Structures are given as C-alpha cells and as structure tokens.
Amino acid sequence: MAEETPMMKQYKDIKSQYGDTFLFYRLGDFYELFFDDAVQAARELEITLTRRGSSNEQHIPMCGVPYHSAEQYISTLIEKGYKIAICEQVEDPKTAKGVVRREVVQVVTPGTVMEGRAVRENENNFTAALYPCDDGTASFVKADLTTGEIEGAVLDKDTRQWQREITRTGIKELIVPSSFDAGHILPASIVCSVEEDTKLQQDFQALLPEHAGSKVESAFALLTNYFVRTQKRSLSHLQTMQLYRPKDSMQLDIHARRNLELTETLMDHNKRGSLLWLMDQSVTAMGGRLVRKWVEQPLLNVDDMKKRHSVVESFLAHYFEREELRDRLRYVYDLERLAGKTAYGNVNAREMVQLRRSLQELPELFSLLDSLDNETMKEWTERAGDFSGLRDMLEKSLADDPPVSITEGGLIKEGWHDKLDEYKEASRNGKDWISRLEKQERDATGIKSLKVGFNKVFGYYIEVTRPNIPYLPEGRYERKQTLTNAERYITPELKEKEEMILGAEHHSTELEYQLFLDIRDQVKEYLQPLQETARIISEIDVLQGFAVQSERMQYVRPEFSANRRLSITGGRHPVIEQMLDQGEYVANDMELNDQREILLITGPNMAGKSTYMRQTALLSIMAQAGCFVPAEKAELPVFDQIFTRIGASDDLTSGQSTFMVEMLETKQALSMATPDSLILLDEIGRGTSTYDGMALAQSIVEYIHERIGAKTLFSTHYHELTTLEDTMSKLFNVHVRAVEEEGNIVFLHKVEQGRADRSYGIYVAKLAELPDGVLDRAETLLHQFEGHVDRVLHEENEELTPAPVLNSSYESDAGEGEQLALFEPTPAGSDGSKQKEERKTHPVIEDLKKADVLHMSPIQALELLYEYQQKLKR
C-alpha cells in the first residue's frame, strides 16, 4: 500500500473541515480539486478530469483551474448553488520547511459572493437568517454583503408571512438553526442549516439598534456569526440594521407578484414586459436596485408617497435641469458596492478611479438639486457627505488608467511619493540605456538583425542569429541560451544594468502595492458618509426616472382618498400601452367606493377583461411606490394588500391540478384580505364542471360581499351570475363591449355598465381559424344548448329533464344521423314512478336543501361537492 504524501495528508485534513464545499486547493498557479470534488467539478465546469499519483494503490481523480481566471469558474458553481472554500498558500514556498502551510481564507456561497457573474448589477444579493421563537413567531434578518445593507423584522405566527418575506426579497441563502425542521415551510434550495449560535460578537453590537429586542438579536447573531465563519476578514462596511414591519408596506404574495408580472414576465421570465422594466428609467446601478425594492414594497404611509410625488413633479417642471442631472448620474458608479469592496479588501485600482470619478460629479449634482427649490431635495443636499479631501487625495495619488492587478505596478502617479519616483526614474533610465545599447552593438558588429530582449526566466539578453555569430568579437560576449536558429548572450555592462533595472522595478512594484493599501485604508474612513450619499443618489435616480417615464407617457399625479374611494378616469395598462406597435390604447374608467365594492365583469375572451383588472392593480402599485400613473385623473385608496387569481396553470412540481392551484390562491385571498385590500379574481371555477364552478364562483362572491368588504374585480363567463346584482347591494355588472359586423366579432376594449349579452366564444374560435366544419357544428350545438337551458329555466315545478339529444354528426342538419343522449333516460318499467319518487328523496338532495351556502367558505363548498359526488357514485 502506497504511503500518502504530506501534501495529500494536508489536503484531506483541510477538506474534512469543509465537507459541504468544493475545496479550491492552491498549488502554484492553479487551484486543484481532488477525489469526489474533482469528479463533480469536472462535470459541472466541463473541464478535463485527470489523475494524480495514487492513494491506497488507487489513482486520485484530479482537475484544476488557473488561479488568475478562477473567478469565472467560481461564478459558474455559485450559480448552480454550490459553495467554494478557497485554500491559499499562507507562507512563501522558498522559505517553507516541508509542505507549504495552507489555510482556507474564504468560503464563497450563493449569498456571500462579492463579485463575478453571480452578482447582478441591478439586484441585491441577500443572505438571510430565520430564527423561530418559542411563541410561534420568528425573527428575520437579511443582509447584502456587497452593499452592507441590513434589515430585520419579527414575523407573525402565520408561516405564510415567512414565505412571503423570503420570496419577496429574493434571498440567495437562508440560514436556519439545525434544531429547526424547515419541512415544507421554506424553499429547500436555499436553506442552510447551521449549529445554533446566537451569541452576538462584540464587533457587531453597535450595528444592532437599542430597541431591536432579543428576538431580532437572535437572527442577527446567527447571520453575522455565519459571515465571520465563512468570510474570515473585515466586515466593517456592514451598516446599522434597519428595523421594519412587513405590514408597513403593501403586501404582495408570490401569486400577486407573478400574475401582475411585477419584475418578470409570466411566459419567458424576462424583465422586459414587466412593471419593473417600465418603471426602471434609472441611470445608476444603485438606482436600479432601489426601484426594484420600491416596486416590490409599495408604501402605505400617504405622507411618504406625497414626498416622492412632489420630487417627481419638480423634475417634470424642470426639464433641462433633469437632463443635466441624468448626464451627471451616468458618471456616478456604484458607490454602495465600491464602499463594500473597499472595506472587504478586494477593491482594485480601476475601481478606485471609478470612485474618484463619481466624487468629481457630486458637487455639481447637488448644486443642481438646490436650484430646484424642493424641500426633500434640500434635505438630501444637507445629508450628503463632504468628500473634497478624499477626492483631492485620489486625484493626486492614483494613475488615470491603472491595470486591474494591484501587484504589478502602474497604480500611482508620479509626484505622490519621492522614493517611488526615484525607483521609476532608475528603471526608466535603465531601459533607455538598453535601447541605446542595441544601436551601439549593431554599429560595432555590423549585424543589423542583432536585438536586445528580455524574459522573466533569463532576464536581459543580446540575440544573434546563427549565420551572424562569426562576426561577434571574441571574449566580450558570454553565451546564455542556445536556440534553434540563434544564440543569446550577455555582457558585463548588460548584467550590471539588468540588476539595477530589475531591482528598481521590484522595489517600485512592492512600494506601489503598499501605497495603494494605504490609499484604500484612507478611503475606509469615509465608509459611512459614502453609504449615506449612495442611498441619496439612489433615491434621486429612481425619482428622476419616474419623471422621465411620466413625461414620456403622459402620466398624471394621483390623489389619495380618505374614504376608500377609487376613481380612475381614462386609465391605461402601463405596460401594454408602451408595448403597442400600432394603434392607440383604449382607456377605461373605473369607479369603486363604499357603495360599489364589487364589479362583476363579463364579455368575450380576448376583449380585455384581465387587462382591465390588472391595470387597476398596477396603477395602485405605481402610485404607492411614488410614481405618477397612466390616466387622465386618478383618485385612489391606499391598499394594504393585493390578491390575484388570474390565469390557469398546473403546479406540476407539487402534483397540484389547475383547479387545486386556483382554489389555494383563492383561499389565500379569502383568509387574509381586509376591507382595505384589492382582490382580482379571473374566471373562478373554470377548472371544474360547469355547475361546480358556478356554485363556487357565486359562493366566493357572496363571501367577499358579506364578510370581507374588499374592493373586488371578478370576471366570469358564467352569465347566470350577473343576476347577483339584483340581490347584492354593493355588486355591479360591467362588461367589455364587442360588436358583430358581417358575421365577425370586433373587440372595442371599452368597459361599459351592465352585463354582456353573450360570450362570443365561437367568434373567437373563428379568429383562431379553426376548421369551418368545427365552427358550423359548434353553432348548431350552441343553439341546441341555449334552447335546452331556456326550457329548463321556464319549466316550473318539473324534475330536471334530460339534456337535449344531440346529433353526433358534424353535419349542419341536426335532424339527420344517429342520436346520442348525454344522460341515460329513466329505465322503462312498471316501477318507473317509484324510481322517480326515490330521486326526489335522495339523501344528497336532502343534504343540499339543508346546506347553509351563504355562510360557507369556498373550500367548505368544494369539500361538500366532493362528498356529494362520492355518494352519488356509490
């Protein structure tokens, strides 16, 4: 059995401490991976799997990536949800005795990655901790290491709120104590269980607000201790935690965010076509992240909304100042993440130049704001930091176009440090001497092809092609390297200059690196004002973007009602309006108040019912986020929650049918909505049989009307439900108008009072160009169905009659061909009358008579229907 090498023993020892990560083990210019890590990494990264030596008489699987390009490989693994432990050589191999000492210097995880593709410019990269408390509540803290932001809250006992907060903020990694069984409560793909460690370290005490309470402290300690274990470096850029209450902003569950396409579209999950795409006219990366947050968390405080609207109004009134402001913002880089990287220790010189360029724009930028005479803008100007000293230092010290690497020189301007200038002068003079030497040697030997070169292995040399070697003077040239067609030589003078030049360059590079670290430390002293100014710049950027969009699309400033009134004149769907290639968007009015709380919307498919519903929700979100809205006039209530049930889709991952998904989403609305909520229900009940669906739809409408009192838009194809207007005082019928012209349907997309007279389904099928035979047959069947329904509705005191006997042929003449009954007729016989009597007294009918439909929840109604169905089958 072969004995393990000391290096492999070291590897195994380190790997045993980081079992759930890929260990990137530094060997020279490569990070190497071994054993199972190598096999899996080679597959995920699509790189070559090789083998090294042997372990216990078996070859060791191995793969590796160059250290200078490791970032791209790390990003790939992070995007796939893996963790990476970076193991570096922590002593000089030249002075090491035995195997070089190595240590893990950082663990990179999906939530703690600081750079690369995994960090998206316009999105936060949150890691969060959830700590369940004994009373059933939970403390929740999230932090973005790239910006230093920290937010914390205590969540209710309702685990649906836990899920909403986690999904709303796009958590990349969720830390929970190992004693907590997450089960089906939390998304397993992001959960990371750790040993319970809620002792808060001294370094983070100052970041916890005094009134935070012990509950929030537990999650905060769990999160910061995780950061300490994985990052192993300064976290001085972490900001003071901001406490919040989830119910202080509009609550939008995952269904509402998805159905309303707030940040991505339903079909292809792209930003284009979403509300965020429309509202994000920001210029900076910071503004891009903030506008996403505002779209996902609309305000509830009217005064805060009015402040934002006031700033938008000021920007609209000052076009030229706003355009100059936008031009200056284009040169403001990501101050939040630049500050974070500075404190973290991975900022480079080019990023420092970006910081310098940003600071150069700030004086004129805030001067512009001052000239607009807006109270919020003046407040921003007063809060912004003074960076004149920092800006002056960066202008004098940093080279204008430094390299990416901070260890290879070229970082510092001449005149900043005397000793560095001396080294650079010596190096420059030496290189000039080398240039003169080449000309001097050519003249002395007559060899025109003679050249002086340099490489890192052999230093400086004189190269002569083989045919010209006889022309060299004897005794003066010393052979240094032999090539196929040439020889390389050195001379005593060249050797002397080489030592001087290389010595100067080495000392210069080392000194530049130390000077850069000194500059970085000076920038660290400005972390807090930089972060505060970044927050201000973000708000400025978002609101000027709102003004740009409002001017471009002729939006109006919304007003907020104190009496729950919603009155929109000429409202438009903001996204569809902007994406129309041709034609003009048809605007519609909307009126809801305490006496008019539910609109029952009818009309044909494709006429625009869903669009009408969605645009009401989107206008409310835009207004409460601080933007103007697409309408001629808008008076809106402040909605605390928006619930949606729009569209039909199976949840294949959990094995739930379309109808079950529909019922679960409806349950969410019925169980959580308040009178200050907005509910959008589109085609409820279409996932089951007609009568089941109609019964459920009516009971849901009655439940909202009698028990909740929320503003509700309810679209349906069950025209029978339009009679509810006669019995429900706060329900009103509206319809999306369509007209028939020359046998075809024309959608007018105009919403009018009253009920639709028909659904025009066959006309829509005609637009889809179904075969003529299918359309003709459908017309025939439709007339037969309608005739049957009319007969049933007008036959009083009669038993339910069999459905009409329908022609099985697709011929238009219903009188010919074989007949097929939908229901079996009552068997003939002497006891026929007895069978009829039995149907009258069937237990299901008796139970149905006793059922209290008006006070039954939709889920209870569904369960009752299922029970009846099973009884009838038996």
Q: What angle do CA 262, 640, 253 make, to 5 degrees?
A: 45
Helices and strands, number each (H, E), in the chain: 26, 29
Strand partners, 26: 31
User: C-alpha dihedral over 653, 656, 661, 664, to 10 degrees?
Assistant: -110
**Owner of token pair 């699987």:** 61
**CA-CA distance, 462 to 769, in Å (whole number)?**
82
CA distance linking residue 730 with residue 49, whole number of Å: 70
Which residue in the block uniquely carries the two structure tokens 């439909």?
A: 853
Hey, what are 739's tokens? 């007209």
56 is known to lie in a ligand binding site: no
Give CA–CA dist 268/365, Å, rounded. 39
| 744 is known to lie in a ligand binding site | no
Q: Is 298 annotated as a binding residue?
A: no
Q: Is 610 annotated as a binding residue?
A: yes
Which of 806, 792, 797, 719 lies closest to 756, judged by CA? Answer: 719
Which candidate, 563, 629, 15, 583, places its Cα nearest to that of 309?
Answer: 629
- The residue type of 467 is P
Q: Is 605 annotated as a binding residue?
A: yes
Classified as helix, coil or strand, 260 is coil
Contact 749, 586 (CB under 8 A): yes
375-383 helix and 527-552 helix, angle to the nearest 10 degrees: 150
Instruction: Record the tokens describing residue 561, joined without a space.
Output: 């009602």
Residue 427 burial (CB < 10 Å; 0-12/13-18/19+)?
buried
Residue 470 annotated in ligand binding: no
Q: Is 348 annotated as a binding residue?
A: no
* Beta pairing partners, 566: 592
Helix, strand, coil shares of the chain, percent, nearest 5, are 45, 20, 35
Q: Which residues contact 496 (CB under 8 A, 6 or more apart)?
A: none
The reply, when asked if residue 608 is annotated as ligand binding, is: yes
What span, in angstroms and rounded, lies between the C-alpha atoms of 322 and 369?
A: 9
Assess contact for 212 and 178: CB atoms under 8 A.
Answer: no
Span between the terminal Cα atoms of the chain, in Å: 72
How many C-beta neighbours within 10 Å does residue 494 have? 21
Binding residues for ATP: 603-610
- Annotated binding residues, written as ranges, equal 603-610
